[in-house]
Structure 1
């Protein structure tokens, strides 16, 4: 159980550790330093055959330090947070930084750039109810499993899981920044199987939320896993040729993810992006926006400030189909002569790098069935595996499975095929559905792409 007083006590401990790391780094000779202190706890329960299969519980505090000296940087981390360990970390990081290559773009934010709001209360990203007990999580997993097994044709449930995690972090830096917040995640999943031997097929359903109250019922998740699995019975390879591809909303965010990777400042600064010369040019169809909002209440990627202490804010990456800007942290912004978009993220032992938070693609007017009817003959993709993506040219090839469509209707399930195209052409031909699901870090509807290559039978 976690109350407000206990949360405040934990935050104070993390604050003390982060600020102690920065102080130790300055004493050891660092010109600038920032530090993360993180406390995490998690419980995960797996059931099978109506009984507990596996239980896992983890809890701990970890710390990370980054030091900067004359355009050089080094990062170190540890799970030991004693005073002696902090002093040793600082000395080691300073010694490592002095041997690192020079990058004149490195450096902390100026004090006047820093976020003024340094907690996440308004974002509601930490469930304020008591943490769920292990037996309550086991009950959720058992209910999901039972619902899947109740479907005629399901031979077994490979796994049903319920989990919970709570994480607190604190960021402190030598420029005066000091702030932190907590985050929770509740999740339920099920994997169902139908058939036997070479005819076996499986599929899954999974949902996660910041707040337990926002989760679907476990029975809904189990039934959906079974429904998806049964629909895959009798899968075969599709024909080979050029066909339209309908990316189901389960996988459509991966397509937008390739666009986001291509406009990431790290790739742009290296000149290793197929969109490196596309600023101000169409990259999506007219009328389509791609936005991000790191401040959506109760959403999984929301955060009040980034990993460099800058205030996050909503922005449009693409507006009316036209690329508006790159995704930048301080270093990549300086290399490109631009300001940060407050997009920095970092790990305990890694420096900041740009990332996206809570992405939203403009939905279309058509429902999934309308997109299906309009595609004639082609492929609906519901799962993907493997990838061969050329980051410089945008050439795209991925393994896929899903359903073959004839005369605008699903004809049979398919597996073991490859789909290929060029991302620039694919994205410009998109037609979006209106079926995006809420509560996702990437809110993207089903997407129809014209003229891709399918390699099957």
Structure 2
């Protein structure tokens, strides 16, 4: 353990000790640290550079069934912060579900999940990467303008100390490259983008590949027109299919179930997808973009099948949400401001058996979605309505680009009529392969 990490652990431990002296029955302290640098370029010139680092301190105390949290950018005298937190807790309303995680569930041996890369590209390297992306994109025939290109590198993590004996630290690095370009001119312009992100610098896709794909995507959209209104089978490109995985992750979140703001709240143990479809969440995946050796309460999570053979099997749970549902936490608690709430980790709609091209070949008339717009998704009622663009499918092939249409359905129908392809890419916190969803409503001309 390096000196900087030990210093953070010492500060967190001092806060916990101060809370005990101030009268707290239990407490935990988190010190989060982040750092990063980024460069953006346009038309061969650097538009902006940034670099920074920050620490954030959080102390959560419990006095009986009452709790309070307090945060600060820096800690002066731990006793002062602890005294204020305990005073706040004593006048807070009682909540029988709040409290530290069960000590029996705390991580005993913190795993090395290979989340940190020691490579630290400087601003010069990031600038060269961004310029190479833009050059590759502008080199695509039909691309007429740059929408902005960026490269970034950073790291973030936290230490956690609890009054019932947990002490641990976790850190991960992050690198990214992104490129946005415009094709065409006048009233016939189209924009598109591409990006890559990874925990390890060597795992990034090359600048040339990212730029070339962004350019090709934009050019392919030229000449878009509306499609006719009707019910169609819709194929979601993985880039937008990840959004459907994200919707599902929100609906199986234990906090949403407790608040009764999830359409799936009464569907545990029921079949909501086709036989053979599986949805997983795994916090311990080596080099997983959302992996963590322990959660925000010190609990080591385990791989779960959220949906198994089409049947809903698990919620994502923190200690408080689990207690309120009469269950046990599965290590999905994360720090969100002054609270601990459940969240997904490496959440994925698992791959099926069919290749995307073969999936498209089965469709006589349909819609291949490459981009979605708007926020018309209601997790309580299940209503789904979003603007979309992509390509019309005709006799099993992508025929012409489509824009200016709206897709409508309800989430239960979408889940029940979903077929995953075999091209799952796990490099995202919410991942999905190409998805076919039958019988959606397309509103066009």
Q: What is the TM-score of this pair, normalised by structure 2?
A: 0.96
Please give the residue correspondences for 1:217-366 in structure 2 after superposition, counting only pairs within 5 Å.
217-347=206-336, 349-366=337-354
| Distance in 2 (alpha carbons) for counterparts of 1:239 and 1:69 | 62
- Are the aligned partners of 1:305 and 1:342 in contact in 2 as well (CA < 8 Å)? yes
Moved over 4 A (4+): none
| Distance in 2 (alpha carbons) for counterparts of 1:386 and 1:98 | 44
Report the CA distance between 1:74 and its aligned residue. 2.1
Aligned length: 445
| Distance in 2 (alpha carbons) for counterparts of 1:138 and 1:451 | 46
- Aligned partner of 2:164 in structure 1 is 175
| Distance in 2 (alpha carbons) for counterparts of 1:169 and 1:264 | 23
Query: Which deviates more from structure 2 when the two are superposed, residues 326-335 or residues 261-270?
Result: 261-270
- Aligned partner of 1:436 in structure 2 is 424
- Are the aligned partners of 2:245 and 2:348 in contact in 1 as well (CA < 8 Å)? no
Please give the residue correspondences for 1:182-197 in structure 2 after superposition, counting only pairs within 5 Å.
182-197=171-186
| Distance in 1 (alpha carbons) for counterparts of 2:224 and 2:90 | 58
Report the CA distance between 1:454 and its aligned residue. 0.9
- Are the aligned partners of 2:145 and 2:182 in contact in 1 as well (CA < 8 Å)? yes
Three-state SS of the structure 2 residue aligned to 1:175 is: coil
Report the CA distance between 1:209 and its aligned residue. 0.3
Which of 395, 398, 407 is 1:410 aligned to? 398
- Aligned partner of 1:97 in structure 2 is 89
- The verdict on how the C-alpha distance between 1:200 and 1:89 changes in structure 2, with shifts beyond 3 A counting, is farther
- Are the aligned partners of 2:31 and 2:58 in contact in 1 as well (CA < 8 Å)? yes
- Aligned partner of 2:193 in structure 1 is 204
State whether structure 2 residue 369 is matched by structure 1 residue 375.
no
The alignment's C-alpha RMSD in Å is 1.5
- Aligned partner of 1:25 in structure 2 is 19
| Distance in 2 (alpha carbons) for counterparts of 1:291 and 1:370 | 25
- Are the aligned partners of 2:55 and 2:73 in contact in 1 as well (CA < 8 Å)? yes
- Are the aligned partners of 1:387 and 1:398 in contact in 2 as well (CA < 8 Å)? yes
Report the CA distance between 1:45 and its aligned residue. 0.5
- Are the aligned partners of 1:109 and 1:175 in contact in 2 as well (CA < 8 Å)? no
- Are the aligned partners of 2:274 and 2:417 in contact in 1 as well (CA < 8 Å)? yes
Which of 114, 125, 128 is 2:115 aligned to? 125
- Are the aligned partners of 1:110 and 1:175 in contact in 2 as well (CA < 8 Å)? no
Report the CA distance between 1:69 and its aligned residue. 2.0
- Are the aligned partners of 1:11 and 1:168 in contact in 2 as well (CA < 8 Å)? no
Q: What is the TM-score of this pair, normalised by structure 1?
A: 0.94
- Aligned partner of 2:373 in structure 1 is 385
